[in-house]
Each structure stands twice: as structure tokens, then as C-alpha cells.
């Protein structure tokens, strides 16, 4: 037995009906079904007859751990319950890949196989990721069918432009499974407890230039900030992620603003106004007073770099004194190596915060660069809550849950 760190609460207790149609991209759906299952969803797969020529039910059964449905089931013993039951119990009908043929059938209400019968009876949201060869997607008939289905509330994602199985380079590629997963989360989270709210999250360590080559930065990986942005999206919020350069993949659906220095971060945050600001970025406290125009050369000796203090971003947008408060709820982080609670409490007050997440960076299993965090939440009301050691993803979900209780 081991801990499945990939399970995400947005998917736990969710039932996803995955329709797979006869496109060569069907092989990617096995990965999608696996990713959805690992994320915690219950995935029921329906294959069309053409799909079975590309990939077998056993493949999907093996990755979902559940029985897979095919057209043979349309005429089996359970047929009378299947076409209604499958979609009735689902939180989402996801068709990936969807051929032009299936899209056409859905647009015209045809129901000649288990998938289209199920789709016609579905009352849950429908998400379709088309995949087809060059020309088929742009064909007026396909475009008209897409338009019809969109007016009925169906959501389409992709297709992407790129290499197609025929050798063409055109629009028709199935989105990557990780991207489809991201879009799935947006639909599942639509009515979450931050629905209709705007959340700005900052992430990563800032970079302060010394010369055109060198920078001063810190160990922040951006992991906690990116996880917070994803958790806010999962809760239905509109999310802006202001990030410093990062190797991480931004969550699907976040509006991305890229910055480097603390000054750029301050400008980006100052241009926003929202229900919530979460300052997870590790902004530099000091920067070189003067940035050398040219690369500093060794032959010129050891440079003396004079530093100056950067602006405190939280303080400057907190509306302390006479300033205007741009965010209803402001959340900060306190990374401390000593006197955790005293220092965090002081920051909570001096920065005008509603909540501060304090973490002890001297611990090996918490803080910068690692996957886990041990956080204590301090609320402006005086309430303190110590969270146990957990993944940064879980910590983000907990913090977002608490923030949702603060936003009315």
C-alpha cells in the first residue's frame, strides 16, 4: 500500500464518462483514462465500433480498473438501463478523441451506437476534444455542426495545429491528455465555492539583475503558488497567475502574466484588482542599486555591489493609511527559519493581511524546492490552525478552502 500523491480532490467522487471514437488519436485516450483514474476519478469508457479497430476494451479496462462498454452492450441484457444509466450517473461526458462523424451525429441528434444514444440522453455537461485529418475540421459541415452544438452548451477544446497521421501539418490534432485533464477540471469546478470570484496568485522567486548576464534570485520553485492557482481554478475562480520564470507548466485556464524582478511583480500586482490576492511569490527584499550596462569582467577585480531595499508589494497594495485597497482578501506567506509564529504574526499585522500561511523552512521536508509543506495558518481574527505535513497540492486545496470562507 502506498500513498497516491496524484489524487486531487477535484476528481475524487467524480464520475467521468469517457467516449472514445475511431480516430488514430484513440491511443492517447488510454493515457487520458489513466491520468483521470490516477487523479481520483471514476472513469467509465464507451468505445465505438471503429475505435475497437484502433484499440481494445482491455486497454481501457486495465487503466481504469472498470468494465468498458462497447456497441455489443447496446444489444445485451442491460441494454434498457445502459443508455440512460451511464450518462445519468456521470458528472461529465468527455468525448476524446471525437471524429467529425460523431460530432455530426450529435449535432443532428442521431443515436445509432451506444455512445450517441448515451450522449442524446445526457443531462451532464459535455466536453468534446475533436481529432481529424486535414480539411475535415475546417469543412463547412463540421464548422456548422460545432456551432450548433456550442449553442446547446457543449464545450469544445482544440484541435491543435501540427503533425497529423496523414503527414499533413494542419489543425486536427487531439489536445495532449494533460491539457484535456486541465479543461476537465475547469468544468468540474465550475460551481465550486469560489465561483464568480477573481483570484490573483503570485508565484516563484524574483530575479534581480546585476549585469546583462547575472542575477540575484532565491530557492523558490513556484510549486506552492502554481498549486494554489490550480486549486483556485478547481474551486471555480477566475485566476490570474503572475509568475517569475519557472520550469513548471501553468494550470490550464489561468491568465498568465510573466515577470522577472520585484519591481515588475509590484507593477503587475498593482494593475490588478480582485476578490483575493495570494502572494506566494518570494519577492526579493534587496536588489542592486545600479544594474551594470555591460557584463562585469574579471579583469576589473571583485565588484562591490551596493544593494537597495525593494518595495514591499503587499504593503503597497494593502491600502494601509489613505491608499485604496485593491483586493478584498489578502493572503501572504511567511517563510521563516526561526520564531515562526511571532514573525508570521508580525507580518500578518504590518502587511494588513487577512490570512498568512507560515512555514518553517529549516525543516528538510517543508518549504523551498520540496514537494511537501507543513503550514500554520494565522487568521486576522486571531484563529490559528496547524496543518500536518502534506503535499503542496493538498496544502493549496486546504488554503483555498479557508480563503473561500473569508470571501463572502
Which residues does the annotation mark as catalytic? 218
Give yes or no for a contact between 97 and 175, defined as CB atoms under 8 angstroms apart: no
CB nearer ligand CTP, residue 285 or residue 371: 285
Give CA separation, 375 vs 271, 294, 344, in Å.
29, 43, 11
CB nearer ligand CTP, residue 115 or residue 356: 356
Give min distance, CB of 262 to ligand CTP, in A: 5
CB nearer ligand CTP, residue 327 or residue 333: 333
Give min distance, CB of 230 to ligand CTP, in A: 18
Give yes or no for a contact between 61 and 67, defined as CB atoms under 8 angstroms apart: yes
Report the residue count for the chain: 408
Within 8 A by CB and 6+ apart from 316, the residues are: 266, 270, 323
CB nearer ligand CTP, residue 155 or residue 376: 376
Give yes or no for a contact between 352 and 317, defined as CB atoms under 8 angstroms apart: no
Return the C-alpha cell found at 40: 481520483
Tell me 84's DSSP state. Answer: H
Round to whole Å and give the CA distance between 71 and 48.
6
Give min distance, CB of 376 to ligand CTP, in A: 13
Give min distance, CB of 218 to ligand CTP, in A: 9
List, as one string, the DSSP characters of 129-162.
EE---TTTTTSHHHHHHHHHHHHTT-EE--PEEE
CB nearer ligand CTP, residue 35 or residue 223: 223
Give yes or no for a contact between 118 and 17, defined as CB atoms under 8 angstroms apart: yes
Q: Could you give phi then psi for residue 96, rounded to 5 degrees?
A: -155, 115
Give min distance, CB of 326 to ligand CTP, in A: 13
Positions touching ligand CTP (CB under 6 A) are 262, 279, 281, 283, 285, 310, 312-314, 332-335, 347
Amino acid at each position: 500500500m502506498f500513498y497516491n500523491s496524484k489524487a486531487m480532490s477535484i476528481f475524487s467522487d467524480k464520475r467521468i464518462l469517457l467516449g472514445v471514437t475511431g480516430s488514430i488519436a484513440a491511443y492517447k485516450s488510454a493515457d487520458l483514462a489513466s491520468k483521470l483514474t490516477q487523479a481520483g476519478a471514476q472513469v467509465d469508457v464507451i468505445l465505438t465500433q471503429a475505435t475497437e479497430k484502433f484499440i481494445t476494451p482491455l486497454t481501457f479496462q486495465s487503466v481504469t480498473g472498470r468494465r468498458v462498454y462497447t456497441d455489443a452492450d447496446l444489444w445485451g441484457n442491460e441494454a434498457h438501463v445502459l443508455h440512460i444509466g451511464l450518462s445519468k450517473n456521470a458528472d461529465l461526458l468527455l468525448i476524446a478523441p471525437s471524429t467529425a462523424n460523431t460530432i455530426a451525429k450529435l449535432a443532428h441528434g442521431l443515436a445509432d451506437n451506444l455512445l450517441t444514444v448515451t450522449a442524446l440522453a445526457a443531462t451532464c455537461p459535455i466536453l468534446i476534444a475533436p481529432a481529424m485529418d486535414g480539411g475535415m475540421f475546417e469543412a463547412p459541415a463540421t464548422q456548422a455542426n460545432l456551432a450548433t452544438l456550442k449553442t446547446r452548451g457543449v464545450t469544445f477544446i482544440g484541435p491543435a495545429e501540427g503533425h497529423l497521421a496523414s503527414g499533413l501539418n494542419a489543425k486536427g490534432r487531439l489536445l495532449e491528455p494533460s491539457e484535456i485533464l486541465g479543461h476537465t477540471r475547469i468544468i468540474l469546478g465550475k460551481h465550486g465555492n469560489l465561483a464568480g470570484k477573481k483570484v490573483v496568485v503570485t508565484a516563484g522567486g524574483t530575479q534581480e539583475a546585476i549585469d546583462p548576464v547575472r542575477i540575484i534570485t532565491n530557492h523558490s520553485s513556484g510549486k506552492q503558488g502554481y498549486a494554489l492557482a490550480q486549486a483556485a481554478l478547481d474551486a471555480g475562480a477566475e485566476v490570474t497567475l503572475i509568475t517569475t520564470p519557472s520550469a513548471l507548466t501553468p494550470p490550464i485556464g489561468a491568465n498568465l502574466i510573466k515577470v522577472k524582478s520585484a519591481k515588475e511583480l509590484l507593477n503587475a500586482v498593482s494593475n490588478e484588482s480582485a476578490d483575493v490576492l495570494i502572494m506566494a511569490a518570494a519577492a526579493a527584499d534587496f536588489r542592486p542599486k545600479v544594474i551594470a550596462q555591460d557584463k562585469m569582467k574579471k579583469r576589473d577585480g571583485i565588484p562591490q555591489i551596493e544593494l537597495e531595499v525593494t518595495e514591499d508589494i503587499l504593503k503597497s497594495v494593502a491600502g494601509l493609511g489613505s491608499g485604496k485597497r485593491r483586493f478584498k482578501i489578502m493572503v501572504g506567506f511567511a517563510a521563516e527559519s526561526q520564531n515562526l509564529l511571532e514573525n508570521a504574526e508580525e507580518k500578518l499585522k504590518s502587511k494588513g493581511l487577512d490570512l498568512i500561511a507560515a512555514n518553517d523552512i529549516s525543516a528538510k521536508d517543508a518549504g523551498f524546492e520540496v514537494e511537501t509543506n507543513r503550514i500554520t495558518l494565522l487568521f486576522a481574527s486571531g484563529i490559528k490552525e496547524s496543518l500536518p505535513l502534506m503535499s503542496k497540492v493538498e496544502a493549496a486545496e486546504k488554503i483555498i478552502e479557508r480563503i473561500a470562507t473569508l470571501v463572502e
